[in-house]
Amino acid sequence: MTGRKTIKVGSPTLVDVAREAGVSVSTAARVVRGSDTSVDATLKERVRAAATRVAYVPNALARTLRAGAPTLVGLIVGDMLDPFYGEIAEAITEQAESMHSMLAVVCNMHRDPELELKYCRRLWEYRVGGLILAGGGFDQWTHRARLAELTSQMVTGGVVVTTLTPRGLDVPAFHADNQMVGRMAAEELLRAGHRRIGILIGAQQNYVSEARLRGMTEAFVEAGAEFDIAYVEYSSPAAEVGVASLFERHPRITGVIAGSYAMSMGIFRWLRATGRSVPDDVSVVGIGNTRVAEWMSPKLTAINLKLDQFGCAALSHIAATLGKSEQGDLPSTQPEVVRGESVSRVFEGARPGPGSGGAAAR
Amino acid sequence: MTGRKTIKVGSPTLVDVAREAGVSVSTAARVVRGSDTSVDATLKERVRAAATRVAYVPNALARTLRAGAPTLVGLIVGDMLDPFYGEIAEAITEQAESMHSMLAVVCNMHRDPELELKYCRRLWEYRVGGLILAGGGFDQWTHRARLAELTSQMVTGGVVVTTLTPRGLDVPAFHADNQMVGRMAAEELLRAGHRRIGILIGAQQNYVSEARLRGMTEAFVEAGAEFDIAYVEYSSPAAEVGVASLFERHPRITGVIAGSYAMSMGIFRWLRATGRSVPDDVSVVGIGNTRVAEWMSPKLTAINLKLDQFGCAALSHIAATLGKSEQGDLPSTQPEVVRGESVSRVFEGARPGPGSGGAAAR
DNA sequence: CGTTTTTGAGATAACGTTATCTCAGCGCAA
DNA sequence: TTGCGCTGAGATAACGTTATCTCAAAAACG
């Protein structure tokens, strides 16, 4: 309450708190930090009061700089607006705050490898405690070398990949068993009696697509089902074109597997536009369940990749490496089917699709 | 190339660069910083080479601490996964990086005012250069006082609000003219001949909802149209319930205004489930256009709020306050109609909806 | 040629913390 | 009383930058 002679500019610091409480900066720091060494109860209270009186908010920049214990984590996603990545980002940011008391910085690489590199560097400028790559830009050779060089510099919690298997990038990865995912999607259709299947899958042929396809192929071959594949971009319009070409080649398809939520939207649109009903005429199974899939009409049946849990596992790994917390038991990350309304049983002699004639492929 | 005696731990610093280049730290800093004062070309090159040789990445923490020129901006959104906020976040993060060379930290308040406060504080710990509030948690009295107290501390670029008018919080705001938005949505239906309208709008009655309703009411009253309102949460299931209650009260409704993208999804679902066709039986106009609205079937007709542009304007304001750049000419932010396929003309003697009888309200 | 001005580069302090060191004061056993 | 350990609190240095000051050498001028 003593009148200040000089006008303070900038936010209050520990020095201000110490002066206000009439103690040394060290003591103020000890109290604020809630540190190991004990402080007299009276003093502690006095410092606390002083801190709130001057509205002290600790400076994380200085703290991190001095203590070398980062509280930022970087997350680079392929496309913020795609709920596939959105839900990862949501889970990780939430978990970072509530569980590790860290702050996650989400960067949107916009499916552009160049941007991924840029953000990588920028995040490292802030000395993030770890970096979670969920974009997959590294699936290109020339790019990967630069990324590897850049990330090898990061000395703290390290780099971690989720949703993808990083080819030739030596970092821990957290993602679903994609072969099993593919198999589950296939079996969902097989179980309902479908034997003529169209598959829409991502155009960039990475380990993920390959593994999923392997799973599907196995299941379909075992069951003696026919199928054909369209490689399209991860977007709704691209999927419309893709599903159209599939039906042009194989008009009697009764079941479609959509490689992503965006694709399933496009498939729904095209099917409806061509007078086909979901699921009465064509059943659709999506890969990757998102919350919004419930909002579709009909509700999408999809394989839940548990992206949120893999994201959290990645984060926990980083936190553990930083020594911030022990790696607790993680929940099961088996993929599972979330049944909506987009798959229906096919009975013997079920009606063929509108365009008749011609057998399904392979 | 001289052999190091001690093993370096941590990332390379300016000191390392300076040693490697055989210059002083000051000179190294000048080169790296690209500062005002000129450095001899030869030396400059030598330092550059040394920097890349030791893989130097500047430490933004130290820089910000010392120079007091923040390069972080905070953004708090109501719900990351809602494309309404997602598109704001995308625009702002992109703009921050490419235009102001700042890094935007997106925080998800998850529609929880408590979390908004928490993130506010946390962002300020990192001494963000500015804070963009896009969540609207401050629309509650008790909360606002604490928020005002917290944000008043922030000494730099300041606090700014987008998407909402902040009641009783004295900060600049950037958002659409919501009364005009409401009027435009109404007129889109009126122009197509609709005279019995159902309105779904956000349950929390803030300035935004009020302004939009005012616009709609004006337009409908002028045109002598009948309408009724359902207040629901910003979610698809809530909208299903809301639209059901509207049609229960007024079965002959031919046009519906959806207060958000999520609501329009729910409306589509309910209409389809009850055997009503969009747009043949019922036309739908959404408020707030999102990219994903194009993926719906049929494509949603909606009012584009230009959220991205308002977000960028908010960011530019902060950057200008920080003195990082002059506030350039901003693009027009008039809302405009984006026409999809969800509105159709009503002709004299148009068929009533399936459930018959009972006039629309008011 | 001497003096002033300009230029380029090194030395130093400071940003706000925290880790470490120091030391006074106290209790307790020899 | 002396010696020893313990506890609580202050002093100090350091984290990696940048702003400021200083100063030597080169350039410009009469």
Taking only the tens place, the pLDDT of each residue in B56-93 is 999 999 999 999 899 999 999 999 999 999 999 999 99
What CA–CA distance (Å, rounded) separates A130 from A95? 14
CA B40 to C1' C6, in angstroms, rounded, equals: 15
Q: Do B272 and A297 touch (CB under 8 A)?
A: yes
The pLDDT mean for chain B works out to 86
Query: Which residues in chain A have Cβ-Cβ distances shorter than 8 Å to B118?
Result: 97
Considering all nucleic acid strands, name the nucleotide whose C1' atom is nearest to the C-alpha of residue A64: C17
Nucleotides of strand D under 7 angstroms from a protein beta carbon: 7-12, 14-20
Q: Average pLDDT in the B162-173 region?
A: 77
Nearest residue in B to A261, CA atom: B295
pLDDT tens-digit map of B196-228: 999 999 877 678 888 999 999 999 999 999 999
Residue A15 burial (10 A CB sphere; 0-12, 13-18, 19+): exposed
Select from A306, A267, A83, A279 the least CA-distant residue to A180.
A306
Q: Average pLDDT in the A326-335 region?
A: 64
pLDDT at A135: 81
Nucleotides of strand C under 7 angstroms from a protein beta carbon: 7-12, 14-20
A272: contact with B, CB 8 A cutoff: yes
pLDDT at A91: 96
- Two tokens at B86? 């997602």
pLDDT tens-digit map of A99-116: 999 999 999 999 888 899
pLDDT at B230: 96
Q: Which residue has the higher pLDDT, A2 or B332?
A: B332
Residue A355 has pLDDT above 80, yes or no: no
CA geometry: angle A181, A294, A180, nearest 5 deg:
5
pLDDT at A357: 38
Beginning with the edge strand found earlier in the chain, give each strand of the sheet holding A226-232 in spatial order.
A226-232, A196-202, A255-258, A283-287, A301-304, A336-338
pLDDT at B145: 74
Chain A window 297-326: which residues touch B at a Cβ cutoff of 8 Å?
297
How crowded is residue B207: how many other Cβ atoms within 10 Å of its Cβ? 16
For the ranges A247-256, A285-294, A327-336, B265-274, the lowest mean pLDDT is seen at A327-336
Return the residue matching tokens 């990475």. A206
Return the residue matching tokens 């520990």. A14
pLDDT confidence of A1, banded at 50, 70, 90? very low
B247: contact with A, CB 8 A cutoff: no
A67: contact with B, CB 8 A cutoff: no
pLDDT at A282: 96
Q: Do B125 and A262 touch (CB under 8 A)?
A: no
pLDDT confidence of B259, banded at 50, 70, 90? very high
